[in-house]
Structure 1
Amino acid sequence: MPDALSGLRVIEWGTGPVPGIAGMILADFGAEVLRILPPRDRPLDRLNAAPMWARGKHDLVLDLTEQDNRDTLRDLIACADVLLTNWRPSLLKRWKFDAEALHADYDHLVYCHVSGFGQHGALSELPGYEHVVAAYAGRMMLFQGLTDREGPVFSALQVGVHVATQAAVSGILAARLEQLKSGRGQLVETSILQGMLPYEMGGLIGKQFAENYKELLPLLGVTPKPPPASLFYHPAQSGDGRWLQFGNLLPHLFDAFLIATGLVDILADPDYEPGQLLFTDPKKHEAFRERMLLRLQERPAAEWLADFVSDGGIVASVYQTTHEALTDPDIVANGHVVTRAGGVQLGPLARLSATPAVIAESAIEADDCVSRWLASARPASTIGERVQKPLAGIKVLDLSTIIAAPIGVSMLADMGADVIKVEQVGGDPFRGLLSGLGASRVNAGKRSISLDLKTDDGRDIVRQLASQADVLVHNYRPGVSERLGIAYADLRKINPGIVYLQSNGYGPDGPSAHRPSTHPVPGAAMGGVLYQLGERIPDSLQSIEGLRRWTARLMRANELNPDPNTGVVVASSVMLGLHARVQTGEGQHILVDMLCANAYANADDFLDYPGKPGRYLPDADLQGLSPTYRLYRCGDNRWIFLGLISARDIDVFIAVLGSLDIGITRDELLPPMDEQAVAGRLTGIFSTRNAFEWQQLLTAEGVACVQADRAAPADFWLQDEQVAANGFLSAAEHPLHGRYLRHGPLVTFAGHPGELGGPPLAGQHNVEILEEAGYESASIGQLHDAGVLWQQ
């Protein structure tokens, strides 16, 4: 059987982790990836994870400052299906490698460009380093309170890189589906700034309809003071000093936790509200929280975890570094690490049952690849009308709940798929949290049917819808779909072409396969939280005051990113399945889990090999990674983030300072450096002007230096000029509030986002969905009357 991406030719011409990892994923699943390298390596090519990106690729060294070599690259582009690049728009235009110039000659080409800040606006040419973009978008304000100092805090995990990588893979494969029909290529665009969008979880809606969400507005802002501590999403220290993370979001999960820890007596307390998992009396709530924390200090972590795993219904994990996670039993059992190059590295992004990934050892020379390509150029496109979005005509059945899988399926809707959300009677449980703001965010662009899957009629409806669907996504725990009669083995009998994706917490093969998971668990287990804290947490047993301080810090460090980290992998994995279906004529079963997806989000350090340096960790004050890549306080007591990586960055920075009569030398700023002295020097320099003035002075010359505390994310997206210039928000219709601005797509096609839909009410489309499926009006009415169907 062919690989999922057999026959796909990709030219990867860029630098850094986004093209590196995107190209790696495409190569893992069978694409032939030709990587264009310069004669001399570049700073981003020296990152710790760079050896992993090379696997399975063909390397061709070309000095593109020479015209002959640029001509060679154009000849190769004529023979490729996809060009993946992240070079600055001005360079591409100057060398006539921009999309417009290439499509004039090669209209078959899928041209994927990844930028830092988008193709338009004042910052389009600025180096798009992850943390520069994060600072600009207000993300560093979310972590205030992790240190004793005031101001924004370095946001360590490279979420923008992760999202942009997966968006590039999804966008390339979506455009490829259209290319296979018509022969026509198109421009596919994403950016690190768009990569920040999935982590905005409803505040954008709340800010626009503030009168409707008055009680939530304090939670939508940014404050160093943590919100009131919940009982269910909670870190705790065990008796041997190790830290545990709990995520028992739903009542039945929290009840299981109470039973296992011997705290079940609170269920009889009249002040305990079991539906909201809290005490109505704040003093009793805090008293029980202290009791819970002290109880968990009575036994070592291994004993607690053994009980939780044995129970099978408790969401809990130990905090680990990425290095420790490499040997996590669930990671190893599910093949999420593979042995390569004398060490271990990330395994496949997803498990495809019919067309699994094949992980190559390392890059190989490109001679054979180049000669074969040059002997068979791709033909020009056939005459055909382009649909507005590449997934138009694809029908997706979304049975998933809460955040991780639903937000991934919403990406498919943004790319043109018709997504039907199948909800339980009463709606997705996420609708009951934060007044439904998050549910509106992750289900935008979908239609909704709400039905009772405990009934024969309800299950028959799902089977009927599945018989007409291209894709089905669910996040049931193992065994649930089988009991409902909608497992892959059941549905492939009635629809052999269905791409069936199952997303869960741990994967099917490890000791935790049967256990539930929520977002704090992969955040703790895969190393992201400890990375955010510089891997500095106490291992000595804490007093109740210390427990209050460190549980608040761990919870803030473990913000919601693990869910969107998983969602973007759900989307790209579906796209792998759809492309494979073109190859094989059949669907298949795809497995995605939160541990693997978040391992990919930690891809900068999720590998080991002889001589590998340790992870670059934030300093003790959580300001950054080095004196030339960190936050600085300015003269107006506001903050900027400075990002100098290349020698060019440093030279231009020195020149700008020189124009201000501030002398600093190259030797001072290049490693090895006296970090304390350089940080002190730069602190003094930045204190001489206000933050926005420094941003204007430096970005005008192409230096990555941006104000880090202009606005919290929700306000940033609504107010920022760069966002507006690139159309990163889109007008849509909210069923309760009317017209509003929603998040735009993570990837755009042919230069425009197309029309985007708003969120549905639960069951809003019951009638039209069933009529499309062939049900008569009388039958639909009977199903409503019988309680099989429900509408919000």
Structure 2
Amino acid sequence: MSVFKKINVLDFSNGPAGGLTSMIMADFGASVIKIEPPKGDSFRKMPSSLTWLRGKKSIVINLNDPIEYKKILPLIKEADVVITSSRPKNEKILKIDKKSIRSINSQIIHCSITGFERKGNLSNIPGFEGLIAAKSGYMMTFEGTVDRKGPVYSSVLLATHAASQIALQSITAALINKHKTGLGESIETSLLRGMIPIDTAGLFITQIRDRMKNSLPKATDPEFGMLPALGYHPIPTKDGKWIQLAGLVSHLFHSFIEVTKLQHIYNDLELIDPRDMNPEAKLRLAKIIASKTITKTSADWMKLFIENGNVAAEEWKSTLQSMDHSQVIHNKDVWTYNDKFYGKIKQLGPIAHFSKTHSKHPGRSPLINEHAGYFWKSKKLNSNNKTIKNISNAPLSGTTFIEFASIIAAPYSATILGELGARIIKVEPIEGDNFRVGANPGTGKQIKGLGSIKTTSNKESICLNLKTKEGIKIAHQLIKKANGMLHNYRPGVTERLSIDWKTVRKLNPNIVYVSAWGYGKNGPHSHRPTAAPGVGAAMGGPLKQLGGKLPSVYKKDIDKSIEMARIINAANPGSSDYNASHMIANATLIGLYEQALSGNGQEIDCNMLAANAYANFEHFIDFPNISKNKSVDKNLYGLGTLYRLYKAKKGWIFLAINTQKDWSKFLSILQNQIILNKNILKKIPVNIQQIKNIHSLILEKIFITTDANSWEQIMSKQDIGCVQADENLPGPFWYSDNHVKINSLVIKKKNPLWKNILRHETLSHFESYPKRAGEQSSAGEQTDIILKELKYSQKKINDLHISRIVDTHTDR
């Protein structure tokens, strides 16, 4: 069944952030009307608009015209959900803000996606991806991918994708709550909040370094070097291609050593453990590995790795090439359909695979104003929608969810559910989640697991030995009482642990059972391990980050090949995990909404490849005569004169202007700059349409006259998109930036290991339920409490501890 088939969505958003949100709702049956300005959505020129506009109806209404505005009033009355993406100031002017919309329909769910939140000088500048990535320090994380210092343009629309998925998570949670209470909701998120997930430990590392200034390594310590962990190393091959290793844990690296027949390295005690190796030993082993891997082609190595089944590795590909990945094809994660205007189109498929709540391609994208005059049929009020007043619980209050997952992708998806109010019980191995003891760059060997604060907050924890009958019995008792459960084991493991779908549905027929696979439930790669770097390389985002071209392999100069590996590694961040987290969370929420409507449970299969296809939505599309997206310049500054990085007198700025109005204001501001030679401005066209790449040379001369911070202050006062791009890395940005503080995007929370710690705020703000950011639990902290809920006596609990069936830790 199509879970959103009775939901009307009125989409006022411009571009893919809101577009992807309503697209997925359309895929699951929602009736989506897109309200466009007279010239249509300004992002329609993106080839991917054929994806995120699919299945919608287009109506042009000039919201600035009072008479035209009246046309939306009947639509608002029949809408269940409204999505906007205007700047806060414009939203009010256009009367599509929460107050205006909900005064017409109080039961509506209003979701606003801004760029920079609602307070501060940056709140009303354009919410372009480049501006958010620059200001939040993300562009600084790519320093080293090109032969110059300073920030590097970030090519993947990470904040856009994240904001779209956060909006969908929030809307679906609000729909679940509305089904229970009849209450509408006002939700706010932003592209800036979309950057929160990928800061795994930066905020925590920064503040711990600040607390312990005299007892931690300096920032220039070798641990800050660019040579990746060997399990995550890009390796060169004989035919000039690169393979990305993705073995986070030691045994996967040792499988790689076995396949490459390099076991002789174990004669050197310094080379035995890839996770505990000094920089000199790491470099030495990297050279040994590279010398070996250039003896075979990429295809030869991949054949061996796949046959072994325990080597995490993927060949570097473009996003377009990723559509032909054998596992992507097997999973049916590419939808193909014939469009009468564009021919055969290949594009994003389903977000996940559901046993009951199926999605389907909702049809082609509409022409501008193709559905002028269209109107929804009047809906009778549902008897379930009797409004219950004075509700103070969070949207998922009353939902219990069991997590059998470790590291990042799946656990963080459960964190998202916890932030939305679900009770999350994290079932950890007897020693705790491995991520709790993972190393952190810049904190030395004595401090570990700071990244796990993000993945273990808003949860209760029980450490349980699932390799024992008693441990399995406890797990089954938890499952019987749950609304849903999640695991991220490889195929076959859940059967051995007796928590597979077949077993679980007998225990709890109405449960939402979510599998977070690396590759998929079955298929040519399903048996293989993977992790963020491998998925990233396979799906094309990192290659795009390098400007679309990989560095050469130097078969006769291993040192140079190792240097190229450093560059490649710098372009492959850990964002693939969080891209997956968003999709797992959304698939789960859709399952929970179906459960709320019908009482039905079901099996849901998610995989990291499909999730990261969504993150690369801009290029995950192909059709005849497709126009090329703008490509980044060779210095990786940006996409053109008015959307790129510029060197300032001190620091760097990122400029983003795409309208004549903003361009005219920009030129007017420059005219008032005393420091500038006004003759230079005469060389710049007044008409934005006449701007060419050559004009960037003039802007370079202008921006070099003043410090980056000053440019940001001058331009933001006039709502022009110009921000400093090199002030901070992400960790220090979240820790100390004034805009973060003004918008309360970090909050202080108690912590079992650090007494208290600053953590990021939730990914969205609900007007009715503002306080949802919870605390971290230590491994097994609630073990005894949970067992008592299951009616275990204290004596029995003590016995379980003694026999190591359960455990509690205070050091992780």
TM-score (ref. length: structure 1):
0.95
Query: 2:334 maps to which residue?
Result: 337
**TM-aligned CA deviation for residue 584 of structure 1:** 2.8
SS at match of 1:387: coil
Q: Per-residue CA shift, 1:186-236, capped at 9, x if unaligned? A: 111110000111111112122222378779966989999734442211001
Cα deviation, residue 375, structure 1: 6.3
Distance (whole Å) between structure 2 residues aligned to residue 759 and residue 38 of structure 1:
45
Q: Aligned to 2:377, which of 366, 373, 376?
A: 373
- The 1-side partners of 2:750 and 2:223 are apart by 34
Q: Could you report, residue by residue, the CA deviation over 1:627-666 in whole angstroms, capped at 9, with x for unpaired residues?
A: 1111100112x10000112333322222222333462577
Of 625, 628, 633, which residue of structure 1 is paired with 2:647? 633
SS of corresponding position for 1:591: strand
Does 2:715 align with 1:698?
Answer: yes
Q: State the match for 1:550 in structure 2.
A: 564
Aligned to 1:271, what secondary structure does the other structure show? helix
**Paired residues of 2:641 and 2:691 also in contact (CA < 8 A):** no
Aligned equivalent of 1:644: 657
What residue number does 1:199 align with?
A: 198
Instruction: Identify which range, 224-233 or 571-580, moves more after superposition.
Output: 224-233
User: 8 Å contact 2:247–2:253 — kept in the other structure?
Assistant: yes
Measure how far apart 1:496 and its partner are.
Answer: 1.6
For the 8 Å contact 2:684–2:698, the answer to whether it is kept is no
Question: For residue 21 of structure 2, what is the aligned residue in structure 1?
Answer: 22
Query: Within 2, Cα distance between the matches of 1:423 and 1:669?
Result: 61
1:526 corresponds, among 520, 528, 539, to 539
User: Structure 2: how far apart are the matches of 1:664 and 1:545?
Assistant: 49
Kept after mapping to 1: 8 A contact 2:129/2:191: yes
Q: CA deviation at 1:667?
A: 4.0
* Mapped partners of 2:68, 2:215: distance in 1: 58
Q: Is the 8 A contact 2:750 2:756 kept in 1?
A: yes
Structure 2 residue aligned with 1:173: 172
- Cα distance change, pair 369–421 in 1 and its aligned pair in 2 (3 A): farther
Q: Which amino acid aligns with 1:99?
A: K
Deviation string for 1:393-432 (max 9, x for gaps)? 1111111110111111111111111111111011111122
Match in the other structure for 1:354: 356
Query: For residues 94-243 of structure 1, what are the structure 2 equivalents within 5 Å?
Result: 94-210=93-209, 226-243=225-242
Q: Mapping of 1:407-486 within 5 angstroms?
A: 407-434=412-439, 435-486=448-499
Is the partner of 2:450 in helix, strand or coil? helix
Relative distance call for 1:375 and 1:483 in structure 2 (3 A) is closer
Q: CA deviation at 1:778?
A: 2.3
Superposition deviation, residue 268 in structure 1: 4.0
Letter in 1 for 2:516: S
Alignment of 1:710-729 (within 5 A): 710-729=727-746
Q: Which amino acid aligns with 1:7?
A: K
Question: Structure 1's 368 and 652: CA in aligned 2 closer, same or farther, altered over 3 A?
Answer: closer
1:740 aligns with 2:754: no
Q: Which digits, 9 at most, give the CA deviation of each residue in 1:72-97, with x for residues without a partner?
A: 21221111110011112222222432
Maintained 8 Å contact 2:7/2:80? yes
**In structure 2, how many angstroms separate the alpha carbons of the residues matched to 1:763 and 1:221?**
36
CA contact (8 A) 1:388 1:754 kept: no
Q: Secondary structure at the match of 2:257?
A: helix
| Residues 613-632 of structure 1 mapped to structure 2, 5 A cutoff | 613-632=627-646
Matched residue, 1:563: 577
The CA distance in 2 between the partners of 1:453 and 1:219, in whole Å, is 42
Question: Closer, same or farther in 2 for the Cα pair 1:224/1:150, shift >3 Å?
Answer: farther
Q: Which residue of 2 aligns with 1:391?
A: 396
What is the rounded CA distance, in whole Å, between the counterparts of 2:455 and 2:388 in structure 1?
37
The total of aligned residue pairs comes to: 787
The separation in 1 between residues aligned to 2:707 and 2:393, in whole angstroms, is 45
State whether residues 498 and 587 of structure 1, in contact with CA within 8 Å, keep that contact through their aligned partners in structure 2.
yes
* Structure-2 change in CA distance of 1:221 and 1:758 (3 Å): farther
Provide the aligned C-alpha RMSD in A. Answer: 2.3
Determine the C-alpha separation between the residues in 1 that align with 2:72 and 2:461: 48
Q: Tell me which amino acid in the other structure corresponds to 2:357.
A: T
**How does the TM-score come out when normalised to structure 2?**
0.93
Range moving further from structure 2, 298-307 or 328-337:
328-337
CA contact (8 A) 1:145 1:225 kept: no
Residue 265 of structure 1 aligns with which residue?
Answer: 264
After superposition, the C-alpha distances for 1:665-693 in whole angstroms (9 at most, x for unaligned) are 77477456441x21111100101111111
1:784 alignment partner in structure 2? 801
> Contact between 2:392 and 2:768, CA under 8 Å: does it hold in 1?
no
Deviation at 1:45, TM superposition (A): 2.4
Q: What amino acid maps onto 2:404 in structure 1?
A: L
Match of 1:38 in 2: 37
Corresponding position of 2:294: 297
Give the direction of change, closer, same or farther, for the CA distance of 1:472–1:353 in structure 2 (3 Å limit). Answer: same
Q: Which stretch shifts more, 382-391 or 229-238? A: 382-391
Matches within 5 A, 1:279-290: 279=277, 282-290=279-287
Q: Which digits, 9 at most, give the CA deviation of each residue in 1:689-731, with x for residues without a partner? A: 1111111111111110000111221111121222122221122
1:21-100 matches, within 5 Å, as: 21-100=20-99
Give me the whole-angstrom Cα distance separating, in 2, the residues matched to 1:413 and 1:389.
10
In the other structure, the counterpart of 1:583 is: 597
SS of 1:774's equivalent in the other structure is: coil
Choose the corresponding residue for 1:402, options 394, 407, 416: 407
1:319 aligns with 316
- Stretch of structure 1 that moved more, 587-596 or 88-97: 88-97
Task: State the 1:21 CA deviation.
Answer: 0.8
The structure-2 alpha-carbon separation of the partners of 1:630 and 1:752, relative to structure 1 and needing over 3 Å to count, comes to: farther
Structure 2: segments with no counterpart, 5+ residues = 440-447
For the residues of structure 1 that align with 2:722 and 2:219, how far apart are their CA atoms? 27
C-alpha separation between the residues in 2 aligned to 1:17 and 1:6? 22
SS at match of 1:607: coil
Tell me the equivalent position of 2:444.
none
Partner Cα distance (2:671, 2:610) in 1: 48
For the Cα contact (< 8 Å) 2:139–2:151, is it kept in 1?
yes
Q: Which letter maps to 1:410?
A: T
| Aligned residues of 1:58 and 1:369 also touching (Cα < 8 A) | no
Aligned partner of residue 187 in structure 2, secondary structure = strand
Q: How far is the alpha carbon of 1:246 from its aligned partner?
A: 0.2
Q: CA deviation at 1:387?
A: 2.8
Answer yes or no: is the 8 Å Cα contact 1:92–1:98 preserved in 2: yes
**In 1, Cα distance between equivalents of 2:648 and 2:28:** 48
The answer to whether the 8 Å contact 1:142/1:222 transfers is no
Single out whichever of 41-50 and 359-368 deviates more from structure 2: 359-368
- Residue 383 to residue 279, structure 1, CA distance change in 2 (3 Å): closer
Contact 1:80 1:377 in 2 (8 A): no
Contact 1:330–1:512 (CA under 8 A) maintained in structure 2: yes
1:507 counterpart = 2:509: no
Counterpart secondary structure, 1:171 = helix
Other structure's SS at 2:655 match: strand
Identity of aligned residues (%): 33
What is the letter of the counterpart of residue 506 of structure 1? Y
Distance 2:212 2:565 in 1: 28
Partner Cα distance (2:181, 2:370) in 1: 29
**Letter of the aligned partner of 1:296 in structure 2?**
T
